[in-house]
A and B are shown apart, each in its own frame.
Chain A
Amino acid sequence: MNLTSTNFYISVEQLNNLAISSIQGLTPALEWDENEHNFAILDCFEQSLRKSRRLLLAIDEQVELLTEEGVILSQHVKPNTRFVAEFEEGPVKKALADLSPLRALLTIASGTMKTGTLILTDDEEKTCARAKLQKLIPANGKAVVLVTPQGLRGYDQALSDLTTYIRTHGGTPLTAGNLYRMIDHSCVNYVSKPAIEIHPEETVFDTATNLIATYLPVVRANEYGVIHDLDTEFLHDYRVSLRKIRSVLSLLKGAYDVNQTLQLKMRFSALMAPTGALRDLDVYLLEQASFYTLVPHTMHAGLDAMFSLIADRRMEEQARLAAHLKTHRYKKEIKALVKLFSKKHKLKPGPNSSRASHDLACELIWKRYRKICRLAATINVATPDEEIHALRIECKKLRYLMEFFGIIFPQELFDSILKSLKQLQDSLGLFNDCSVQQLSLQSFVDGLSDEQHRFIITQSVGSLITILHQRQFAEREKIMNAFAHFSSDRIQRSFRTLCQNKKEL
């Protein structure tokens, strides 16, 4: 049996040089198979696989996963499989269970592949070590060879010599370098939540401008995926980034001139507006499986009919949004905004623009926390949904504020507060989802004209709404518990320390 060790990548030229001279007295030789294969390197948009030091290759109708430990897993895969969930059961699917199920596998590079072997033989021409070679020749980009040294039992020294030789002669361990960059220099590293450096003494104006200038490229990076409907996360990230920008404008009050702030808010809202309908439909479809588990089998036919209608509507809505993002008007507007925040000279300072960011952050976070405590103290079983919804919005604003300024606060204290806030938000989120879903299911049914299946859809939706209502009711209690923790003395003390003991920070 062969033993596997580190995987490397190397340029074609450097590989050829490897085979020129002897390696610790062993003779190297390169052998290439005549057959060519099709290959594609697959990864999510955030390059989650590369960042977790793995490589996923589609080779003809197989997928091969090179794990961080150097193990190669493989299994059959149907052509055009885009999500891990669509894989047949197998070792690769199992090993990819940690990837977001919402993220599509995109092609980073594709082309033809040749396989071969680098063999080290002794003076008896006995093989003492080999390396499996996969020469990737992308349609666009630079060819590169994946090298997987394979030891033979009883020849540990030869394997160690071969591995060292590869490492010192141009081989980069797959877990250490960026293979994608080697193939294509322009390969972009997308981060949905970029880290932003804020200096405590930085002005409010600079902080707000930095934050917006950082989130705008995230908005732009997601356009392609939305237009080509690669997966639903593109639109989600697109909207989250826009929402964060709007929050900067509304939460960091006085960073810019009042009129300009108002105008900017309107411009960003206008960008957001055409995306809402598609996101709502996406959420429905993402919830599809869970809806089926909520109602009895007899109600499934109605859900089938409903989701088929929703899928049709989603297709129309997606086409509409894609067309919008391709218009000259949209492109001109987004480019103008990017320019405004990168050049800065047309941004007009507002009343708070020259204050230190840290001071304002402390003030805003403390005020917001107090407000949430006041609001939440009144919550009981009879509180109207709208009030809980208002509490949810306040929490979201606090969360954004804390995330914007997280970097300037002491890590440990900050994390413990954030954890408690997240727990509260999770409950509020579930509560709100149940509430929103009931309303939107109701309006969906109301909006049905004489469409076919109207009766069975109404019946199934009725049953669904009842269950969602029960769920929402149960969630109310959890919110009260989560809040009790969030407003406890300990968390209050933490917030006070964070926001008021400025000298200690």
Chain B
Amino acid sequence: MQIVACYSNKGGVGKTATTVNLAYAFAASGRNTLLCDLDPQGASGFYFRIKPSQKLTEARFFEDAERFVKSIRGSDYDNLDILPANMNFRDFDIFLSHMKDTRSRLKKALKAVKNDYDVVLLDCPPNISILSENVFRAADAIVIPVIPTTLSQRTFEQLLEFFQQHDLSTKRIHAFFSMVQGAKTLHGEMIVELTRNYPKQIMAAKIPFASEIERMGITRAPVLATTPNSPAGKAYQALFDELIERI
């Protein structure tokens, strides 16, 4: 099982849209996929039309394997389940370690419902906290959307520093350019500069600033499901293909 975290220490960079489309792509490729919506402000569940559950707010939630399994919801798509938001993340690190431990009660509970996952995608909240540090340690890959602007460059570099300070390997960082506007000279220049400075961390795939992605709020479905042949659809597919190659 692989854990893929989508993370950004800056809001509004297209992180949730990325998580939703990657989750869809993982599932469509035949992998049994669980998307965990950890971002209280995020909208992964919203994009899949899943109502937030009020029952999941109790503190020791992640220690209770059966309750965890019960709160998973099937999406409208094959192989793709969602763990909705609105929960307390205090014990999230315990959850992650259980997710990796084949002997844990959580694993056994998942197996009992014939639903062990090949991939767990995490839509992480946008701040550096104990939670994010735990996620960074547990995840096999950390996918980071970066808007090619000077401000985003600073936050990306802050994140790399955080990794170095906390003895975390930057090899697991897979960044890509998000909301790219081809017409903007600044975007073009930033892409060249950042790619040159961080060749190992930055992927080739780029997600354009596209109306299809904005419209996800109305269609409430991944772009890959509604308009797979649009520029945004193709870009998400390319991002997925490249990510699969790297991890």
Chain A residue with Cβ nearest B70: A154
- Asked whether any CB of chain B lies closer than 8 Å to the CB of A504, the reply is no
Chain B residue with Cβ nearest A119: B76
- Asked whether any CB of chain A lies closer than 8 Å to the CB of B226, the reply is no
Per-residue B-contact encoding for A1-35, CB less than 8 Å = 1, 0 else = 11000000000000000000000000000000000
Determine if A2 and B74 form an interchain contact, defined as CB atoms under 8 angstroms apart. yes
Residues 374 to 390 of chain A near chain B (Cβ within 8 Å) = none
The complex places the Cα of A122 from the Cα of B72 at a distance, in Å, of 17
Chain B residue with Cβ nearest A156: B70
The smallest beta-carbon distance between A151 and chain B, in angstroms, is: 8
> How many chain B residues touch A (Cβ–Cβ < 8 Å)?
19
Contact of B73 among A1, A2, A125, A154 (CB under 8 A): A154
- Asked whether any CB of chain B lies closer than 8 Å to the CB of A224, the reply is no
Chain A residue with Cβ nearest B50: A126
Known: A153-B81, A154-B70. Contact between A126 and B114, CB under 8 A?
no
The complex places the Cα of A84 from the Cα of B78 at a distance, in Å, of 31
Determine if B51 and A152 form an interchain contact, defined as CB atoms under 8 angstroms apart. no
The complex places the Cα of A124 from the Cα of B114 at a distance, in Å, of 28
- Asked whether any CB of chain B lies closer than 8 Å to the CB of A127, the reply is yes
Name the B residues within 8 Å of A154 (CB-CB). Answer: 70-74, 81
The smallest beta-carbon distance between B152 and chain A, in angstroms, is: 33
The complex places the Cα of A122 from the Cα of B49 at a distance, in Å, of 9
Per-residue A-contact encoding for B24-35, CB less than 8 Å = 1, 0 else = 000000001000
- Asked whether any CB of chain B lies closer than 8 Å to the CB of A473, the reply is no
Determine if A125 and B70 form an interchain contact, defined as CB atoms under 8 angstroms apart. no
Residue picked from B32, B49, B78, most chain A C-beta under 10 Å = B49
The smallest beta-carbon distance between B180 and chain A, in angstroms, is: 31
The complex places the Cα of A154 from the Cα of B220 at a distance, in Å, of 19
- Asked whether any CB of chain A lies closer than 8 Å to the CB of B48, the reply is yes
Per-residue A-contact encoding for B158-186, CB less than 8 Å = 1, 0 else = 00000000000000000000000000000
The count of A-to-B residue pairs whose CB atoms sit within 8 angstroms is 41
Name the B residues within 8 Å of A151 (CB-CB). Answer: 74
Determine if A125 and B49 form an interchain contact, defined as CB atoms under 8 angstroms apart. yes
- Asked whether any CB of chain B lies closer than 8 Å to the CB of A444, the reply is no
Name the B residues within 8 Å of A125 (CB-CB). Answer: 49, 220
The smallest beta-carbon distance between A29 and chain B, in angstroms, is: 13
Determine if A1 and B49 form an interchain contact, defined as CB atoms under 8 angstroms apart. no
- Asked whether any CB of chain A lies closer than 8 Å to the CB of B115, the reply is yes
Determine if B220 and A153 form an interchain contact, defined as CB atoms under 8 angstroms apart. no
- Asked whether any CB of chain A lies closer than 8 Å to the CB of B79, the reply is yes
Determine if B115 and A153 form an interchain contact, defined as CB atoms under 8 angstroms apart. yes
Determine if A153 and B78 form an interchain contact, defined as CB atoms under 8 angstroms apart. no
The smallest beta-carbon distance between A332 and chain B, in angstroms, is: 62
Residues 123 to 145 of chain B near chain A (Cβ within 8 Å) = none
Determine if B74 and A124 form an interchain contact, defined as CB atoms under 8 angstroms apart. no
Give the interface SS of chain A, mostly helix, strand, loop or mixed: loop
Chain B residue with Cβ nearest A154: B73
Residues 19 to 67 of chain B near chain A (Cβ within 8 Å) = 32, 48-51
Contact of A1 among B48, B76, B115 (CB under 8 A): B115
Interface residues on A, range: 10 to 19
Name the A residues within 8 Å of B78 (CB-CB). Answer: 2
Determine if A1 and B32 form an interchain contact, defined as CB atoms under 8 angstroms apart. yes
Residues 114 to 139 of chain A near chain B (Cβ within 8 Å) = 122, 124-127
Determine if B72 and A153 form an interchain contact, defined as CB atoms under 8 angstroms apart. yes
The complex places the Cα of A127 from the Cα of B73 at a distance, in Å, of 11
- Asked whether any CB of chain B lies closer than 8 Å to the CB of A165, the reply is no
The smallest beta-carbon distance between A459 and chain B, in angstroms, is: 56
The complex places the Cα of A20 from the Cα of B50 at a distance, in Å, of 25
Name the B residues within 8 Å of A330 (CB-CB). Answer: none
Per-residue B-contact encoding for A136-168, CB less than 8 Å = 1, 0 else = 000000000000000111110000000000000
Determine if B79 and A126 form an interchain contact, defined as CB atoms under 8 angstroms apart. no
Determine if B70 and A126 form an interchain contact, defined as CB atoms under 8 angstroms apart. no
Determine if A1 and B71 form an interchain contact, defined as CB atoms under 8 angstroms apart. no
Known: A1-B79, A125-B49, A126-B49. Contact between A155 and B73, CB under 8 A?
yes
Name the B residues within 8 Å of A152 (CB-CB). Answer: 73-76
The complex places the Cα of A2 from the Cα of B81 at a distance, in Å, of 10
The smallest beta-carbon distance between A77 and chain B, in angstroms, is: 23
Chain A residue with Cβ nearest B115: A1
The smallest beta-carbon distance between A46 and chain B, in angstroms, is: 34
Name the A residues within 8 Å of B220 (CB-CB). Answer: 124-125
Name the B residues within 8 Å of A2 (CB-CB). Answer: 74, 78
Name the B residues within 8 Å of A155 (CB-CB). Answer: 73-74
Per-residue A-contact encoding for B57-100, CB less than 8 Å = 1, 0 else = 00000000000001111111011010000000000000000000
The smallest beta-carbon distance between B225 and chain A, in angstroms, is: 12
Residue picked from B70, B74, B113, most chain A C-beta under 10 Å = B74
Name the B residues within 8 Å of A122 (CB-CB). Answer: 49, 51
Name the B residues within 8 Å of A153 (CB-CB). Answer: 72-74, 81, 113, 115
The complex places the Cα of A153 from the Cα of B32 at a distance, in Å, of 13
Chain B residue with Cβ nearest A153: B74
Q: 10 tightest CB-CB pairs across the interface, nearest first?
A: A152-B74, A126-B49, A154-B73, A153-B74, A127-B76, A124-B49, A1-B115, A153-B72, A153-B81, A154-B72
List 10 interface pairs A-B (beta carbons < 8 Å), by A numbering. A124-B49, A124-B50, A126-B49, A126-B51, A151-B74, A152-B74, A153-B81, A153-B113, A154-B73, A154-B81
